[in-house]
Amino acid sequence: MNKKRIEYNPESTEIEKAKSHIIVEIIEYVPNAVVIKTIIKKSTGNISMMSFDSGEGLTEKTSPFDAFVQIIEGEAEFVIDGVSNLLNTGQGMILPAHLSHFIKPNGRFKMIQTIIKSGYE
């Protein structure tokens, strides 16, 4: 897998506030890429949208914070500490802090990721 990350709209760190958005249309697919769009970015956490073209995933990593992921289009396999979880459109789960996880591609998909950085003191 040839991974490249692209910021969808580098001029804006967040989407427009106080405006209705069609969530699945905020971010588009880019061939052979993982696209990341920041929805909200604060020192206490952030919300990001991601689109993954077919064959694209994320390599194994751990995070010091819990993350909530929700599939908004397609399906993806999340492997957490060696256990596989298949999520479809509308499904979500918490990726626990300090456990290794990665995303295996299963066709194109889009997701929202929410990370809360406070409360770990």
pLDDT tens digit string along 54-64?
999 889 999 99
Residue 83 binned pLDDT confidence (cut-offs 50, 70, 90): very high
The residue among 114 and 7 whose pLDDT is bigger is 114
Q: How many CA atoms lie within 13 A of 34 on its CB side?
A: 18
In contact, 16 and 8? CB cutoff 8 Å:
no
Q: What is the pLDDT of residues 26-64, one digit of tens each?
A: 899 999 999 999 999 999 999 999 999 999 988 999 999
Strand boundaries in 8-62, DSSP class E: 34-42, 45-52, 58-61
In contact, 83 and 67? CB cutoff 8 Å:
no
pLDDT at 106: 85
